Structures are given as C-alpha cells and as structure tokens.
C-alpha cells in the first residue's frame, strides 16, 4: 500500500496548453504490470445437505502482490448439469493486500441441485488492473475440484422383521411381534415402535407407525404374510365304539380321523391298541398341525371275547416301556413254530393249540427263552424285559472321550452299531439277560469285555486307559524343539503327531494291550512297540546318537572349509553344517537306522554322499574329490 501511495504521489501531470484540452498525460513512478500470485487455496469439501436449509462453503486463499496490492479474488462453482453457478468473493482477513489471507463463502440455497459441484475458476485482481486465474492443473493441484451437495426429498424405507420366525411351513402358534427398521439416505430416521399380532388367521398384514427423517420426509411400512394358528387339530377314534362288546371273529380295527380348521394337519394321528384280557383300549395320538400345535390323545374302550388258546407276549425295557418290533417265536415240542412281532405298545398276541412251548425273544443281537404252558382258557401270558447295562470309558483326555465309542453283541456274537459315549464317558445299552460282549474304542485302540447280564446284577463294564510316557533323548535343543511322537493302539492306525516338551517327554493314554509309538527327530523316525499293562509305569524311550563326519580331499588332506548335510531315514536332508576349521569335523545326532551324509567342498562344486547304518555313536570320513 505504501508503494502504491508513493506511486500516486510522485506522478506528475503536465498540461501542454492552456487554450485547449490537454492532449497527453505523462505518468512517472514505479510501474505495476505483474498480476498477483495465488500461493494456496483451500475449500471446505465436507459434503453439505441443503434439504432443510441453505448452506455455505468456506474458501480460504493466500495471495501476494508486488506493488499495487490485491484488490479482489473470487471462486466459481458449477452444478452437475452445468445450468447453475455459485461463487465466493474473497476478502482480506489477515495480513496486508501485498501478502495476506483472503476468505469468503459460496452460498448454496435450499434445494440446490444435488450432486458434485465443480470448481471452474479461481481468479485474483490487483489495484493496477492486473489479474490472474489458476489453470486447471494448478487449481486441481491446490484444492481438488469439487464439493458434494445433497438434497433429500426421499422418505425413509420402513421394513419389518417378525419374531418368533415362522416355522418351515410358514406358521406360528403364538403371538408375533414385528420389529421395525427404518433406513434413510440421511443415515438417521425415527424408528416406529414394535407391532404385536395375536389374532389367528392366514396371510395377515400389519402397518408400522410413522418414521421421519431430518428433512421432514415421513413414511410407514407394511409387513405381510403373518400366519397364526394357536388351536390344535381335532382327533377322533373310528372303527370302534366306546363301551361296545365284540365277538372275537368280529373284533374291530380301530383307526384315526383328524382335521384342522386353519393351518391344516401336518402329521396325522396314529392308533395304538392295548388290552388286558378282554378289555381293550384304542388310542389315537400324535396329530400335529402345520403351526406345530399338537392334539392330545383320544381313547375309546371296548371288550373282545378271546378264543381258546389266546396267548399274549409282552416285551419291555428296564423302565417298563414297551419295545416295538421285537421278534418272538413260539416253538412247540413238535410241529410248526409260530412267530410274531411286538407292536408299538411292546405286545403281540396269537392263538396257539394247548401245550408246552419254548418262547424265544430276540433283541439287541441276543436272545433269551422261557417255557410257557398254553391252556384253552388261559390266561396265557409271557413277559420279557431287557436290562440296562452301563459302560464307562475312563480317560483323562477330553478329546479321547469325545471320539470314544462302544459296540455291543449279545449271545449271537454279532456286534451292533458303535455308540458314542457322553461327555462323562458313559453309554447305556438295553440287552436281554445272558452273555453280552462290549468293545470300547478309545485313544487309537480297542478292548473287548464280556458280561453275564442278570436281573439284580450290577450290570456295568468299565474300560480304563493307562498313561504311557515317551521320552526322546537328544542333546541338541533344536532337535527336541521339532521332535514329535505318534501313537497307534492295537487298531494299527496312528493318531496325529504330538510335540514333545522341552525335556523330550510326551504322555499318551492307551488301553491295555499292544501299542506302537513312532518318534520323529533329527531328520529320522523310529517305531517301537510295547505291551501296555494297567497299573505299571509304562514308559518307552528313544535316543539319538552322535555321528562325527570328517571331510578330506582325494589325497587325504583335511577340507576345513567343507560343509555336510544329514538325512535320516525320512530321506529329507537338513541344512548344511560347516565343519570345524581345524579338524574338518562336524557331529550330527541321528536315530538308529539308515542315515545319509553328503559333504561338499568349499566352492560347492564337488560333493560326495555316504550312507551309514547307525547303531550307536560312530564316526566316518568322506573324501570329496
């Protein structure tokens, strides 16, 4: 400013004549022909929202000028369509007009065109009339090129989620709560309160409360397809009349009829018939509709007069529950046998000629027999009951118990499907009295025990694994750090390799009997087998031995710069090891068995291999020529 004033003060106007107007002006003093320099420009590029009100975008620039000083500056924005502009005039806010900070704000009215507005010009003017506008590349390098404008006229979207969810058939059998979720471009919208539907019906709908966004746009949501049925199916017994009496040759065949007024029957009722002597009960149960409502059992009672020799067999488990599908054979002293199979209530009936019969029931791969004398007037009844046998597998390793199974064979000698023990190692079997065998599989092995199952007996079997400690001795810490042991019980299948601890020890659980252990250390492996005995200190040891290799040339001279690598019986070589610079020796640890050693000269251009059968500490010389 001072220089500008000096320029004005020193200017001299010369009048060339008094009689006529001046024909020229002679201006002297400093001349300003250089435009101002924009050294920096920054624009607040935070996206703005003009949905509810107008917004300003702040612009700051640092500008210098050499003589006259900065007069004005401006920034222009153009809308995405190119049809609208907004500008910011910048005013001195700090410093001087020769070196100062200029600030201003571009005005964006409410509901301005949304999208990215591009900065199209940044220009500055000094008091001498010089001006300069940033080029595109200068403008982009300093400030970027845009500001994002958002205008919200879109209401929130309201969606619902029901709880509890419908079953696989699409039905609920209890009231449904619909929880609403509102989403909006603004990221913020009010959430309607949950809606509850408790009325029975198919394909019901519910409408939410109102959700509004910060711009005042509001909407509701509708959730449809709600199916509610809280009423169980109706079940009746058909084919038999309650309280009626029937002759044996006209005994009824009861059945079931069921219906459901809303969701429909998913599972139809089934009939079961039980009797004591001539008193019969037919029961229909198990009807379930598509909503999951279960109908209670419905029964009718009637009598049937039995014929001569009418015989009944009942088979139940240790809890007294009837066992269905159990084959039973009535074998007379002579003549043809009669076979039946128990029904869902665990009983079966047949008509036999009077006489003595051997009655045999077969269950759980075993059978047991009883004698029965059949008379014309009866009652002729024979009862069988299974007994519960508890099998316990004891092993302190949770992973072993998780994989442990037990299989059972009755006196037929045929084993059934293995059963997984529970987390306590227990499995329970229902078997007929007599001899049964049980085979436990745990910790890679198996063991079989037989038990005479009797009424009133303890009827339990226990299998217990024993600890086996495996030790690997090797003076090289790195070898022990990488050493592993795998175990196979009498099944012959090895489990995963387990790392030893820093002392070279690892403990396995094994069933009594033969077990094998394979140790892997120092590039080799070795397998040993032992008989595991309960109560003994079961241990097995593996030890590497030292093998010293001396490297010479073809003339017997020590190669003190040689390297040697070792491979155990795995065939995989370890890293090359440098020999001692004085003795040309290097020592490796190796398990007994075949090991291979390869020596190289210092340049690595010549090598030679030597295979050794290692039985104890030893040494060997490799001549590389």
* pLDDT per residue as tens digits for the range 207-219: 999 999 887 889 9
Alpha-carbon distance of 454 to 387, in angstroms, equals 8
SS (H, E, C) 47-94: CEECCCCCEEEEEEEEEECCCCCEEEEEEEEECCCCCCEEEEEEEEEE
CATH code for residues 310-385: 2.60.40.1120
Strand-pair category, 55-64 with 99-108: antiparallel
Classify domain 387-464 at the CATH superfamily level. Answer: Immunoglobulins (2.60.40.10)
Question: What residues does 134 pair with on adjacent strands?
Answer: none
Residues counted in the chain? 625
What pLDDT does 412 receive?
87
- Say if CB 238 and CB 298 are below 8 A apart: no
Q: What is the mean pLDDT of residues 228-251?
A: 92
Q: What is the pLDDT of residues 91-134, one digit of tens each?
A: 999 999 999 999 999 999 988 888 888 899 999 999 999 999 99
Q: What is the mean pLDDT of residues 329-353?
A: 93
**What is the percent of the chain where pLDDT is above 70?**
94
The CATH number for 37-150, chosen from 2.60.40, 3.40.50, 1.10.1060, 2.40.30, is 2.60.40
What pLDDT does 249 receive?
67
Alpha-carbon distance of 307 to 310, in angstroms, equals 6
How far is Cα of residue 616 from the mean position of the Cα atoms in its chain?
51
Say yes or no: domain 545-624 is CATH 3.40.50.20: no
- pLDDT band of residue 2 (cuts 50, 70, 90) is very low
Contacts of 362 (CB under 8 A, 6+ apart): 326, 327, 328, 329
- pLDDT band of residue 17 (cuts 50, 70, 90) is very low
Residue of 408, 404, 343, 352 lying closest to 377 (CA atoms): 352
CATH topology of domain 466-543: Immunoglobulin-like (2.60.40)
Q: What is the pLDDT of residues 191-205, one digit of tens each?
A: 999 999 999 999 999
- Helix (H), strand (E) at residue 99: strand 99-108
- pLDDT over threshold 60, residue 1: no
Residue of 614, 524, 526, 520 lying closest to 570 (CA atoms): 524
Q: What is the pLDDT of residues 505-528, one digit of tens each?
A: 999 999 999 999 999 999 999 999
Q: What is the pLDDT of residues 471-512, one digit of tens each?
A: 999 999 999 999 999 999 998 899 999 999 999 999 999 999
Continuous H helices in 364-499: 398-403, 477-482
What pLDDT does 115 receive?
84
- pLDDT over threshold 80, residue 277: no
Q: What is the pLDDT of residues 127-163, one digit of tens each?
A: 999 999 999 888 888 886 566 666 667 899 999 999 9
Question: What residues does 85 pair with on adjacent strands?
Answer: 78
Residue of 350, 353, 348 lying closest to 374 (CA atoms): 353
Q: Which two tokens stand for residue 383?
A: 């009862």
Cβ–Cβ contacts within 10 Å for residue 355, how many?
15
- pLDDT over threshold 50, residue 466: yes
What pLDDT does 150 receive?
65
Cβ–Cβ contacts within 10 Å for residue 22, how many?
12
């Amino acid at each position: 400013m001072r220089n500008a004033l000096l320029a004005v003060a020193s200017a001299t106007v010369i009048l060339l004549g008094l009689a006529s107007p001046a024909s020229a002006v002679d201006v002297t003093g400093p001349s300003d022909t250089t435009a101002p320099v924009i050294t920096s420009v920054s624009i607040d590029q935070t996206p703005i929202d003009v949905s509810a009100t107008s917004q300003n975008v702040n612009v700051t620039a640092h500008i210098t000028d050499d003589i006259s000083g900065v007069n004005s500056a401006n920034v222009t924005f153009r809308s995405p369509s190119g049809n609208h502009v907004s500008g910011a005039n910048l005013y001195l806010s700090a410093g001087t007009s020769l070196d100062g900070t200029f600030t201003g704000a571009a005005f964006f009215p409410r509901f301005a065109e949304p999208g990215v507005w591009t900065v199209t010009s940044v220009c500055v003017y000094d008091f001498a009339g010089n001006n300069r506008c940033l080029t595109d590349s200068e403008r982009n390098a300093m400030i970027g090129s845009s500001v994002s404008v958002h205008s919200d006229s879109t209401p929130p979207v309201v969606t619902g989620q029901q709880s509890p969810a419908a079953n696989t058939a699409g039905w609920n059998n209890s009231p449904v709560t619909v929880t609403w979720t509102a989403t909006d471009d603004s990221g913020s919208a009010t959430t309607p309160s949950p809606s509850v539907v408790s009325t029975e019906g198919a394909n019901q709908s519910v409408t939410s409360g109102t959700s509004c966004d910060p711009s005042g746009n509001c909407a509701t949501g509708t959730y449809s397809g709600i199916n509610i049925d809280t009423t169980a199916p109706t079940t009746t017994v058909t084919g038999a009349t309650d309280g009626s009496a029937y002759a044996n040759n006209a005994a009824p065949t009861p059945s079931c009829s069921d219906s459901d007024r809303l969701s429909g029957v998913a599972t139809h009722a089934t009939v079961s018939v039980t009797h004591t002597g001539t008193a019969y009960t037919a029961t229909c149960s198990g009807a379930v509709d598509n909503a999951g409502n279960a109908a209670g059992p419905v029964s009718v009672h009637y009598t049937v007069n039995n014929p001569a020799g009418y015989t009944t067999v009942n088979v139940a488990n240790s809890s007294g529950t009837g066992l269905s599908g159990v084959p039973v054979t009535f074998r007379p002293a002579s003549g043809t046998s009669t076979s039946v199979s128990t029904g869902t209530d665990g009983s079966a009936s047949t008509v036999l000629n009077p006489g003595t019969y051997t009655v045999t029931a077969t269950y759980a791969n075993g059978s047991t027999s009883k004698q029965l004398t059949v008379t014309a007037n009866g009652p002729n009844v024979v009862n069988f009951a299974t007994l519960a046998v508890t099998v316990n597998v004891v092993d302190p390793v949770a992973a072993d118990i998780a994989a442990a199974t037990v299989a059972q064979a009755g006196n037929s000698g045929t084993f059934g499907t293995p059963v997984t023990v529970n987390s306590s190692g227990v499995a329970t079997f229902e078997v007929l009295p007599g001899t049964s065998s049980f085979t436990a599989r745990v910790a890679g092995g198996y063991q079989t025990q037989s038990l005479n199952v009797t009424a009133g007996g303890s009827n339990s079997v226990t299998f217990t694994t024993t600890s086996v400690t495996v030790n690997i001795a090797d003076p090289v810490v790195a070898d022990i750090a990488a050493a592993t042991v795998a175990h196979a019980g009498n099944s012959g299948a090895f489990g995963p390799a387990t790392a030893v601890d820093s002392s070279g020890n690892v403990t396995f659980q094994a069933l009594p009997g033969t077990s094998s252990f394979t140790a892997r250390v120092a590039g080799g492996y070795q397998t040993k087998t032992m008989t595991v005995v309960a109560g003994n200190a079961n241990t097995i040891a593996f030890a590497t031995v030292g093998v010293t290799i001396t490297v010479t040339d073809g003339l017997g001279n020590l190669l003190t710069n040689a390297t040697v690598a070792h491979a155990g019986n795995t065939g995989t070589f370890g890293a090359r090891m440098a020999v001692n610079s004085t003795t040309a020796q290097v020592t490796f640890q190796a398990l007994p068995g075949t090991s291979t050693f390869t020596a190289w000269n210092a340049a690595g251009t010549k090598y030679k291999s030597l295979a050794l059968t290692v039985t104890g500490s030893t040494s060997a010389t490799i001549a590389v020529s």
